């Protein structure tokens, strides 16, 4: 039963949806998305102010996070002219980070992050590379020219935000890793610290640590970004401190948070959600309004600009980044199709 309560609705099998627990979760899910009559402002039954979180979520930037290069200059090639930037408080108080899940509202991650002390942090480079390396993250960040990019962010659960990220292109990091020509994929493994991450201790049915992977051509695309900050400051813990991937054309779950290892492989690696729910979550997971999730539509999304404000907007193929990445996916359905796992 505990397992069911702690699982996000989007990994529940459809067969479970008729049980009372699942019904309750479904209602919470619908409320959280603002799809029901109760909107985002009423999520959890109260406003941000009455939950005492007006400053709380923004206080979760590690005190010893490096700030060299902040705030970074904005790269004007990455803008989202048709939408406003999501309020910072919303982006840092409505999260998916299952390493922290506990009883209650799964999106309410920030109150659970205090024991997590990301720094010092090392990043390991392994697999099909000229040589294995282990970098100190602070040194790495200092050596990278930081920039800010404003990007659309689309979760598979059909909500979205617009976020200004600070970081550097993933391609730059990959070049430093010196992958061999045999490297066809790159796998990212996330933090494993059960003593600091309550979800890793409690939610034992997950295959910890979180892991994700990309094809090399996807990883080298200029849109693929390593974020070390957002809204002009280092990442708050709940947003993936000290570093995460931002892949704006893919569903949010393809962007691993708190990455500790990069590994280059010859064969396609597994991924966290695909291993858990292979009939619902595939390897590519590009944002595509033409491919419904087996349990809900992906044709539109609930855009969350600020607390208490939300609107339904149409989802764009590749989340509006067709020009950047469309050529990578000649088989991506361009007209409405049935639910397929890609």
Nearer to ligand MTE, 128 or 251 (CB): 251
Bridge-partner residues for 257, per DSSP?
244
SS3 286: strand
**Contact flag: residue 262 with ligand MTE (CB under 6 A):** no
Q: Given candidates 40, 78, 97, 281, which one binds ligand MTE under the rule CB under 6 A?
A: 97
SS3 87: coil
Minimum Å gap between C-beta 257 and ligand MTE is 4
Minimum Å gap between C-beta 330 and ligand MTE is 27
Binding mask 179-218 for ligand MTE (x = CB under 6 A): -----------x-------------------x--------
Per-residue buried b or exposed e for 194-222, using 16+ beta carbons within 10 Å of the residue's own CB: eebbbbbebbeebebbbbbbbebebbbbe
Q: In what order do the strands lie in the sheet with 133-136?
A: 133-136, 122-127, 259-265, 185-190, 211-215
**Contact flag: residue 248 with ligand MTE (CB under 6 A):** no
- From the list 65, 105, 14, 76, the residue with the least C-alpha distance to 233 is 65
- Judged on CB neighbours under 10 Å (0-12, 13-18, 19+), 266 is exposed
Instruction: Give me Rg for the CA atoms of the chain.
Output: 19
**Contact flag: residue 258 with ligand MTE (CB under 6 A):** yes
**Piece of the chain touching ligand MTE by CB under 6 A; list 43-51, 92-100, 143-151, 164-172:** 92-100
Per-residue buried b or exposed e for 268-277, using 16+ beta carbons within 10 Å of the residue's own CB: ebebbbbeee
Q: Given candidates 29, 98, 185, 318, which one binds ligand MTE under the rule CB under 6 A?
A: 98
Nearer to ligand MTE, 128 or 159 (CB): 159
Binding mask 135-174 for ligand MTE (x = CB under 6 A): --------------------x-------------------
- With CB under 6 A, what is the number of residues at the site for ligand MTE? 16
Nearer to ligand MTE, 96 or 286 (CB): 96
SS3 41: helix
Q: Given candidates 135, 168, 185, 253, which one binds ligand MTE under the rule CB under 6 A?
A: 253
Query: What is the contact surface with ligand MTE in residues (CB under 6 A)?
Result: 95-99, 155, 190, 210, 239-240, 252-253, 255-258
């Amino acid at each position: 039963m505990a397992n069911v309560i702690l699982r996000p609705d989007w990994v529940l099998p459809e067969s479970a949806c008729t049980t009372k627990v699942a019904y309750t979760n479904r209602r919470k899910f619908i409320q959280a998305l603002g799809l029901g009559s109760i909107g985002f402002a009423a999520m959890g039954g109260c406003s941000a102010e009455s939950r005492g979180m007006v400053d709380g979520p923004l206080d979760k930037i590690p005190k010893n996070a490096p700030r060299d290069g902040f705030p970074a200059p904005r790269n004007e090639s990455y803008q989202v002219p048709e939408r406003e930037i999501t309020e910072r408080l919303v982006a840092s108080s409505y999260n998916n980070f299952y390493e922290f899940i506990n009883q209650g509202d799964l999106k309410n991650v920030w109150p659970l992050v205090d024991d997590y002390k990301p720094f010092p942090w090392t990043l390991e480079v392994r697999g099909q590379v000229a040589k294995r390396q282990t970098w100190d993250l602070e040194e790495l960040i200092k050596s990278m020219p930081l920039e800010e990019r404003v990007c659309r962010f689309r979760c598979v659960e059909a909500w979205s935000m617009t976020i200004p990220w600070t970081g550097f292109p993933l391609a730059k990091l990959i070049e430093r890793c010196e992958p061999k020509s045999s490297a066809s994929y790159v796998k990212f493994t996330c933090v494993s610290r059960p003593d600091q991450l309550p979800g890793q201790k409690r939610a034992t049915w997950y295959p910890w640590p979180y892991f994700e992977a990309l094809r090399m051509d996807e990883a080298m695309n200029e849109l693929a970004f390593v974020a070390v900050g957002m809204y002009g400051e280092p990442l708050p813990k709940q947003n993936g401190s000290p570093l995460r991937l931002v892949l704006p054309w893919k569903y949010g779950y393809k962007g691993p948070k708190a990455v500790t290892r990069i590994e280059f492989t010859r064969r396609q690696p597994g991924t966290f959600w695909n291993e858990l729910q292979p009939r619902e979550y595939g390897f590519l997971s590009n944002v595509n309004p033409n491919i419904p999730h087996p349990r809900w539509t992906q044709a539109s999304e609930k855009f969350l600009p600020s607390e208490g404000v939300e609107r339904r907007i149409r989802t764009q193929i590749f989340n509006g980044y067709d020009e950047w990445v469309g050529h990578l996916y000649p088989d991506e359905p361009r007209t409405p199709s049935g639910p397929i796992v890609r």
